Amino acid sequence: MSNATNFIASPVEIGLLGNILNYIDFESQVALKTASASCYELFNSREPLLQLPQVKAISNLTPRDIKYLNNYSLEQYERRERYSHLFSVPMYQPIKNIFRVVNNFLFGKVTERDTSPPPFHVDRLFSFPVVRRFHEKLDPNGKILGRYLTEVLQVKCEKDPEDMIAFLQSFSLDARETIQSLNFFKSSITDEQVSQVLTLCPNIKVLNLGGTNITGEGFADLPANNKLENLSLNRCSHLDEGYLSAFFVKAHNLTYLDCSYTDTTGEGLADLPENNKLQTLRLNWCNRLDEEHLSRFFAKGNNLDTISISNTRITGRGLAHLPIDNQLKNLYLHSCGMLNLEHLTALFGKTNLLEVVYLNETNINLDQLFRERFAHISFYK
């Protein structure tokens, strides 16, 4: 008879349980965790072979499910019936058989106490595993761990950014290096916390900070060798051009930028390096854009293939500064009521690859001669 509090599993026994976990979903894992007090203790260990299947199962849950898991309180689990109601774990015969196999193989004949779930007031039934390093053969590229961390950090940041930072700091550098994408849209994250995230996650490529109250100061400590490629600052109403300038100087790898619905003038953009890789730019509903700043920026826009600058007051003078060898294919100018045909003509004369231009609800009228001159472009009016 095993004593759960003193139980130590052998590598073979841990391997067996790990293999079982790899074939069952998260709800079934939770059910198995409560098969006995010994199972419960073993689940809470930091055995990599047991943590990997748990992480894998969690990463396959929907964000809504992960949010639920992060939010529930201990009080909800004080009674067994509450747990069964909330998780709705179907105790089918196959799961019962798994319980029997695990208990018999790992723990021998168990007592009545061992077959009942652990006391709920002792600890949470669920916690996000902290995985310091995955087995190289099981997750060689860190894809499972990276996806898991991305989803869990998003949920934690939505509820409490400080808790998210603490959780992130609990991981080793090896684990944090697997994170390539983070979505903090409409969270209460601060500039200081953004700085911490960028320091802790050196391989971050995709970052969504849309709808937050950041100023951009958090980018100050971003290293020059950063890997950031995709950045959304959509609806960030407190952006500071000085901080943006300091950031864009180091944005060598940026290919996608969304600053729509902000008060940016374009001053920060103008400081992008000459050899920038920006391909997609969105500045929709930016009513403070300055043509001088845009002229400086677009003069360096060799790689831009999509520009969306609708619902703004631009005349097109800045756009006309795109270099002759530009890659522009798609141009969105919906509801730009101050466009100047002369500036657009200068732009179109440089764009051999331009395919589509949207001029819906603008003051521009294109005659047949104009359309024939730029026959390679499809105009939507």
- DSSP notation for 158-210: HH-HHHHHHHHHTS-HHHHTT--EEE-TT----HHHHHHHHHH-TT--EEE-T
Name the pLDDT band for 187 (thresholds 50, 70, 90): very high
- Which H or E element spans position 307? strand 306-308
User: Which residue, chain included where needed, has tokens 């009674």?
Assistant: 79
Two structure tokens written together for 84: 């069964």
Edge-to-edge strand list for the sheet holding 356-358: 181-183, 206-208, 230-232, 256-258, 280-282, 306-308, 330-332, 356-358, 378-380
Q: What is the mean pLDDT of residues 73-88?
A: 43
pTM, two decimals, is 0.82
pLDDT in tens, 254-298: 999 999 999 999 999 999 999 999 999 999 999 999 999 999 999
Residue 259 φ/ψ, nearest 5 degrees:
-115, 25
Name the pLDDT band for 72 (thresholds 50, 70, 90): low
Q: Which residues contact 188 (CB under 8 A, 6 or more apart)?
A: 161, 212, 213
Q: What is the DSSP string of 224-266?
A: TT----EEE-TT-TT--HHHHHHHHTT-TT--EEE-TTS---S
Q: Are 194 and 214 in contact (CB under 8 A)?
A: yes
How do the residues of the chain divide into helix, strand and coil, expressed in percent and rounded to 5? 40, 5, 50
Return the closest-CA partner of residue 288 out of 311, 264, 271: 264
Question: At residue 95, does pLDDT exceed 60?
Answer: no
Alpha-carbon distances, residue 317 vs 139, 285, 312, 344 (angstroms) = 51, 18, 13, 8
User: Which residue, chain included where needed, has tokens 């779930």?
Assistant: 117
Supply the pLDDT for residue 166: 95
pLDDT in tens, 217-260: 999 889 999 999 999 999 999 999 999 999 999 999 999 999 99
Amino acid in position 276: N
Fold of 148-380: 3.80.10
Q: What residue spans define the domains of the chain?
A: 4-115, 148-380
Task: Report DSSP state, residue 151.
Answer: H
- Helix/strand number for the chain, H first, E second: 16, 9
In DSSP terms, which residues pair with 358 in a beta bridge? 332, 380
Q: Which residues contact 114 (CB under 8 A, 6 or more apart)?
A: 2, 4, 36, 37, 38, 103, 107
Name the pLDDT band for 107 (thresholds 50, 70, 90): very low
Neighbours of 366 (CB within 10 A): 16
Residue 325 φ/ψ, nearest 5 degrees:
-90, 35
